[in-house]
Amino acid sequence: MSSQTLLGKSALVTGATSGIGEVTAYALAAAGAQVLVVGRRNDLGNAVVRTIEQSGGKAKFFAADMRSTEEINAMVECAVNEFGKLDIAFNNAGIFDRMNDFHIYSDDSWDEMLAVNLTGVFRCMRAELASMITSGGGVIINNASTVSHRGSLRASPAYVAAKHGVLGLTKQAAIQYVHQGVRVNAVSPGPTETAMSAPLVAQGADAVARALAQLNPTGKFVSPEAIAQAVVFLASDSAKMINGSEIVLDGGQLALL
């Protein structure tokens, strides 16, 4: 893929101070986009901006909490003020909690998980859509998950419900706004090599393969770089006929079902 497929475009990435979001911010910048790096920690966000700028790109950090409508709206406004318009949005920010039995799962856990992972995505999309309609179009990409399609013995009820909802929001917006120049898609990763998986990775390739073999036929983690390249592709004109869809990055995990 050309390193300049997004030249002249502007993008925002939520949850961009670490993991998938950070790597995707770098990939979008490398493809030519100006990037609004969104997260909650100023030190990490500004470090991502510096890395992009040192590579010749343009970026700005904006601090926003995905539980706040006001901060989400201000995030989109900042992108427009900084870059002239918003062309691309990757709604990636999310939190994770491990499996708790349904009958003991607390209201507080449910409310927190949905506030960030589902309601936050809705509010981001609402603000992004309004901006893109005004400017003549754009591309929204949501970070869903393989658990958008199934249950999980690892994740909580709220996490699984939220990710199902993200895929539903993706499809709903895709059919509503296609004639206004906005495409909406998702990426759905399987288990991904991020800081959360570091303890397992430290045990070596054999340990990883044993842990993942029953889920993923390759016995390997999905890399953040693979997800980032899928986002760049979906944001580019090469994907102009892809709408209301998703790219599943799971090494064949869902094919086993």
Q: What tokens appear for 133 in the block? A: 């309609």
CA distances from 60 to 32, 39, 158, 202, 208 (A): 15, 11, 32, 33, 36
The proportion of the chain whose per-residue pLDDT surpasses 70, expressed as a percent, equals 96
CA distances from 126 to 92, 95, 131 (A): 15, 20, 9
Q: Residue 34 is part of which domain span?
A: 10-194+223-250
Given 26, 105, 159, 177, the catalytic residue: 159
CB 16 within 8 A of CB 60: no
Give the Cα separation of 9 and 80 in Å (integer): 12
The answer to whether position 65 is within a domain reads: yes
Range scoring the smallest mean pLDDT among 128-142, 171-185, 186-200: 186-200
Per the structure, how many domains does the chain have? 1
- Residue in 210, 211, 118, 131 with CA at minimum distance from that of residue 169: 118
pTM of the model: 0.93
Give the Cα separation of 21 and 17 in Å (integer): 7
- Active-site residue flag, 26: no
Map tokens 């996490």 to a residue: 159
Give the Cα separation of 184 and 172 in Å (integer): 9
What are the beta bridge partners of residue 188?
Answer: 248
Give the Cα separation of 141 and 208 in Å (integer): 29
Q: What tokens appear for 222 in the block? A: 């999905």
Q: Looking at mean pLDDT, say which of 2-6, 81-85, 197-201, 211-215 comes out highest.
A: 81-85
The answer to whether position 203 is within a domain reads: no
Question: How do residues 137-156 score in pLDDT, each as one tens digit?
Answer: 999 999 999 989 988 877 89
Question: How do residues 200-219 score in pLDDT, each as one tens digit?
Answer: 677 877 777 777 777 778 77
Inform me whether the pLDDT recorded for 17 exceeds 80: yes
pLDDT of residue 1: 41
The answer to whether position 217 is within a domain reads: no
> What strands lie across the sheet with 10-13, from one edge to the other?
59-63, 34-39, 10-13, 88-91, 138-143, 182-189, 246-249
Phi, psi of 6 (to 5 degrees): -115, 25
The answer to whether position 157 is within a domain reads: yes
Q: What tokens appear for 98 in the block? A: 């491990």
- Residue in 195, 184, 193, 182 with CA at minimum distance from that of residue 227: 193
Q: Which amino acid is at 93?
A: A
The answer to whether position 201 is within a domain reads: no
Range scoring the smallest mean pLDDT among 50-54, 161-165, 197-201: 197-201
Give the Cα separation of 233 and 101 in Å (integer): 38
The answer to whether position 27 is within a domain reads: yes
Range scoring the smallest mean pLDDT among 114-123, 212-221, 245-254: 212-221
- Residue in 183, 185, 203, 182 with CA at minimum distance from that of residue 193: 203
The answer to whether position 30 is within a domain reads: yes
Q: How many residues does the chain have?
A: 257
The answer to whether position 4 is within a domain reads: no
The predicted model gives 10-25 an average pLDDT of 97
- Report the CATH number that the domain containing residue 87 is assigned in CATH: 3.40.50.720
For CA atoms 190, 164, 22, 174, the dihedral sign is: positive
